[in-house]
Amino acid sequence: MTITVAYRTMTGHSRKIAVAVAKALNVEAVDIKKQPDIGDSDMLFIVGGIYGGASNPDLVKFAESLDSSRIKRAALITSCASRKFFQKEVRAALVARGIDVVTEEVVCWGNFLFYGLGHPNKTDFDAAINFAKKYL
């Protein structure tokens, strides 16, 4: 089974989560800004943050570029300071491309200014890792 952990980050939180998940799955985390073509994947974990209530536009463009013949299934892992928002734009783009996306999405606590200081932390990483392992 080919597993890919891809991320895009503006603050570094999504990178930290992606690296923790990738390490637990014995793969490398891929920054889509540096490597937009991730190749084929049986299970793609997409890690990204919420900014102003919406997904990172680069992550949405990435999802819009994926080919369902190369990506079998995807799951979303999100970093959000309020923990109230999901990657709805990324999910919609994947579904529009014909990619099977797991219904569940894990939302890790990020931080913004003084809100959520110290996050993401080990608890957040563990939640993301357990989520990923559940779908393998």
Give the pLDDT confidence of 52-99 residue by residue, as tens digits: 899 999 999 999 999 999 999 999 999 987 778 899 999 999 999 999
Segment 36-41 mean pLDDT = 96
Smallest CA-to-CA distance from 9 within 37, 30, 38 is with 30
Q: How far apart are CA 124 and CA 130, in angstroms?
A: 10
Residue 116 reports pLDDT greater than 70 = no
Which are the contacts of 114, defined by CB distance < 8 A and separation ≥ 6? none
Q: Residue 53: how many CB atoms within 10 A of its CB?
A: 10
Give residue 83's pLDDT.
79
Average pLDDT value for residue range 107-129: 80
pLDDT at 16: 96
pLDDT for 109 equals 73
